[in-house]
Amino acid sequence: MTLFDSPAFEAHEGVHAFFDEKTGLKSIIAVHSTARGPAAGGCRMWPYGSAEAALDDALKLSRAMSYKNAMADLDLGGGKSVIIGDSRSQKSPALFEAFGRAVETLGGRYWTAEDVGVSPADLASARTQTRFVAGLEGHAAASGDPSPVTAEGVFRGVRLCVRRRYGRELDGVVVAIQGVGHVGAYLAEKLHAAGAKLVITDVNEQALEAVAARTGAQIVAPGAIFDVDCDVFAPCALGGAINEDTLPRLKAKVVAGGANNQLASAEVDRVLFEKGVLYAPDYVINGGGIINVAGEIRALEAGEAFDPKWVEAKLDRLAQTLDEVLEHAAVEKRPTHEVATEIAKARIAAAQG
Ligand code: NAD
């Protein structure tokens, strides 16, 4: 299959591959759409088994960023970058400087930020080579780590879904969280503070123990999280958590979490709907982080300080948008992801004129 035939390609404006001989950087930057503004989306570092797997991930994540930015009501298009490598052993400032030079070649059509495996310190290295980097620390426009804001958006989304599906508040609700990294850990703390009972899993034992100590969460093995008797399943690890194998095992009537690309296929969206599971479309509920990043891009472009009030207003709007999506889906008796994608595409098409 060629790039253009790939189902994940879906009319990307540009797909760029970069190799730096000195540092070994292998990176793909995918720009799905710049209709609403410059493409913005994080950089993921992951030990992909093949270049095809990295490309497929970049394309899917990039398209999702177009939808996410549109649903978060931002003047930004969608893009994403991936670096092929192990973030625990193959990182260096020089690698991220080379990545920064790659971003710079796109001349501002793509703004990068943090994603899985990439930290603000890595971005600081990239920033020495290009100004199109957000999610930094230590300057007036900086927004810092977007994860707490992503988690706040997800928390509000979980609360909304629980109200809609169960007609109750979070106190006593059982939430199973898959992945307690940046987003999952903050989400666990917020849910715990709201009285929810937590069951958590992760492949990182240290992260698990730390979150369990702070929240009293019960720990289960990674493979067992899908069988937990819970009210809400919150995917906060990598993509594809809800698939043919896991779907029949899920007990929750709400799926709402921070991970990108949670559904393995469009078919999964329909089966969730038919099972009566309320699914919060991933790129809507997890838009808090990109809102935070957009606050930084906005401040950098205007030469102003970061404005948390602007972020808060967008976060409020995001919760309303999620409610609108869920309401449309309920009234029209259709899967939520399908409805969200229709709205996102319409917003992008409207910007294209
Ligand atoms: P992270 O790397 O800090 O956390 C991911 C966690 O998932 C890690 O602790 C990892 O060990 C764990 N994990 C990986 N595979 C697992 C498995 N099979 N079972 C259980 N746990 C597993 O990343 P993050 O920043 O918290 O992001 C989590 C997800 O949310 C990703 O899909 C990311 O794209 C998405 N997201 C993040 C942000 C953000 O602001 N950080 C914003 C939007 C979306």
Residue 136 resides in a domain? no
Instruction: Determine the pLDDT at residue 120.
Output: 87
Instruction: Determine the pLDDT at residue 296.
Output: 95
- What is the spatial distance between Cα 14 and Cα 106, in angstroms, rounded to a whole number? 10
Ligand 1: centre distance to CA 180 (Å): 7
Domain match, 97 and 200 both: no
Tens of pLDDT, residues 163-185: 999 999 999 999 999 999 999 99
Backbone angles phi, psi at 116, to 5 degrees: -55, 130
Instruction: Determine the pLDDT at residue 339.
Output: 97
- What is the spatial distance between Cα 332 and Cα 318, in angstroms, rounded to a whole number? 21
Q: How many domains does the chain have?
A: 2
Residue 69 resides in a domain? no
Average pLDDT estimate for 112-140: 92
Residue 138 resides in a domain? no
Domain match, 276 and 155 both: yes
Task: Show the domain range for 252.
Answer: 147-285+321-348
Domain match, 120 and 206 both: no
Residue 305 resides in a domain? no
More confident residue, 239 or 192: 192
Task: Kindly state if the Cβ of 147 falls inside 6 Å of ligand 1.
Answer: yes
Minimum-distance ligand 1 atom for the alpha carbon of 183? 26
Cβ atoms of residues 40 and 113 within 8 Å: yes
Task: Kindly state if the Cβ of 125 falls inside 6 Å of ligand 1.
Answer: no
Task: Kindly state if the Cβ of 289 falls inside 6 Å of ligand 1.
Answer: yes
Domain match, 207 and 166 both: yes
Domain match, 268 and 342 both: yes
Residue 23 resides in a domain? yes
Domain match, 193 and 110 both: no
Tens of pLDDT, residues 246-273: 999 999 999 999 998 899 988 999 999 9
- 26, 60, 68, 80: the catalytic one is 80
Instruction: Determine the pLDDT at residue 240.
Output: 92
Q: Whose CA is nearest to atom 40 of ligand 1?
A: 147
Cβ atoms of residues 163 and 194 within 8 Å: no
Residue 353 has pLDDT above 80, yes or no: no
Task: Kindly state if the Cβ of 77 falls inside 6 Å of ligand 1.
Answer: no
Domain match, 59 and 175 both: no
Residue 22 has pLDDT above 70, yes or no: yes
Residue 91 resides in a domain? yes
Domain match, 120 and 157 both: no
pLDDT confidence bin for 1, thresholds 50/70/90: low
CATH of the domain at 43: 3.40.50.10860
Q: Whose CA is nearest to atom 36 of ligand 1?
A: 259
Backbone angles phi, psi at 85, to 5 degrees: 165, 165
Instruction: Determine the pLDDT at residue 6.
Output: 82
Minimum-distance ligand 1 atom for the alpha carbon of 282? 44
Domain match, 155 and 280 both: yes
Residue 238 resides in a domain? yes
Residue 114 has pLDDT above 90, yes or no: no
Residue 1 resides in a domain? no
Q: What percent of the chain has pLDDT over 70?
A: 100
Average pLDDT of the chain, as a whole number: 95
Instruction: Determine the pLDDT at residue 85.
Output: 98
Domain match, 213 and 337 both: yes
Task: Reply yes or no on whether 80 is catalytic.
Answer: yes
pLDDT confidence bin for 115, thresholds 50/70/90: confident
Tens of pLDDT, residues 63-107: 999 999 999 999 999 999 999 999 999 999 999 999 999 999 999
Average pLDDT estimate for 232-240: 94
Q: pTM value?
A: 0.91
Task: Kindly state if the Cβ of 258 falls inside 6 Å of ligand 1.
Answer: yes
Domain match, 195 and 250 both: yes
Instruction: Determine the pLDDT at residue 4.
Output: 86
Q: What are the CB-based long-range contacts (under 8 Å, 24+) for 101-105?
A: 101/20, 101/129, 101/130, 102/16, 102/18, 102/20, 102/25, 102/27, 102/29, 103/29, 103/129, 103/130, 103/132, 103/133, 104/129, 104/130, 104/132, 105/16, 105/18
Tens of pLDDT, residues 41-57: 999 999 999 999 999 99
Residue 9 has pLDDT above 90, yes or no: no
Average pLDDT estimate for 309-333: 97
Domain match, 187 and 105 both: no
CATH of the domain at 196: 3.40.50.720
